[in-house]
Structure 1
Amino acid sequence: MTERIVVVGAALLDAGRLLAARRSAPPELAGRWELPGGKVEQGEAPEAALVRELREELGVDAETMERVPGEWPLRPPYVLQVWTARLRPGSAAPEPLQDHDALRWLTHAEIWDVDWLDQDVPAVRETLPKLDAGTRAR
């Protein structure tokens, strides 16, 4: 059995909204939307990888909160794991710095207004209750 490589995604939450990032590369994914993130490097904890990837891709200082239940296959040997995350106080606003050309904060009502990558759809569904909780908490 080949070793699987974990790709982490962030369900970045703010005021009852979820951040979606539009891919600019590779060509077969360009124009579709995803939860931002990236590969976990050798010896790196998934949570640390997610914080690093959000800094590299979006220029933000974020913290992970909790793992979203489930794991979703990507092309072998990759699997997607998702954590909820939030911006730390004083963080810059997210900017599409790497691999993305647009960002959108989506409310619960807008969540399906974007063309999500197929593998992100189950994770987005799992995150919806957290979106509702975030709205109620304010």
Structure 2
Amino acid sequence: MTRTTAEAEPIVVVGAALLHGGRLLAARRSAPPDLAGRWELPGGKVEAGERPEDALVRELREELGIDAEPVGRVPGEWPLRTPYVLQVWTARLRPGSPGPRPLQDHDDLRWLAPAELWHVAWLDQDVPAVREVEKLAAFSA
């Protein structure tokens, strides 16, 4: 059985490099069991017909209860389990947004300064993206 072009297309998972006050938000997974206790950039799958930037805003509202806006795409794209691929955007809280709180799939949040970035156990698939975020002037300034 051969795969069609549609089946071969990767499914995009968006991650947020949420920056605030020179710090990056890390979210600790509570589910599924094989990921629990590890840290990630919050986000989720892009739904059919949805722009990645819109998915990012939706996922941050669902997972963290915040109103955020995408700022720019972080260079790169990282493979996850087939057929998924990770794309990351920097994002910021919109004025008047409540602070983030873990609502879905997370049990802890931390704002990490540049010197604290590697003090948490990132999910393996997030490490390359976090390295790219680390290079950004918006984070290291």
CA contact (8 A) 1:9 1:81 kept: yes
Counterpart residue number, 1:115: 121
- The answer for the alignment partner of 2:60 in structure 1 is 54
Where do 4+ consecutive residues of structure 1 move more than 2 Å?
Answer: 132-136
Q: How does 1:42-121 map to 2 (within 5 A)?
A: 42-121=48-127
RMSD: 1.1
Unaligned runs of 5+ in 1: none
**Structure 2: gaps of 5 or more residues:** none
How many percent of aligned residue pairs carry the same amino acid?
A: 77
Instruction: Please tell me whether the aligned partners of residues 133 and 139 of structure 2 are also in contact (alpha carbons under 8 angstroms).
Output: no
What is the match of residue 20 of structure 1? Answer: 26
Give the drift of 1:135. Answer: 5.8
Q: Does the 8 Å contact 1:16/1:133 carry over to 2? A: yes
1:3 shift after superposition: 2.2
1:10 aligns with 2:16: yes
Does 1:38 find its partner at 2:44?
yes
**Superposed displacement of residue 134, structure 1:** 4.6
**Matched residue SS, 2:58:** helix
SS at match of 1:51: helix
Q: Distance in 2 between matches of 1:134 and 1:95?
A: 21
TM-score, normalised by the number of residues in structure 2: 0.92
SS, match of residue 22 in structure 1: strand
Q: 1:129 aligns with which of 114, 120, 135?
A: 135
Change (3 A) 1:134 1:108: closer
- What is the number of residues matched between the two proteins? 135
Q: Secondary structure at the match of 2:89?
A: strand
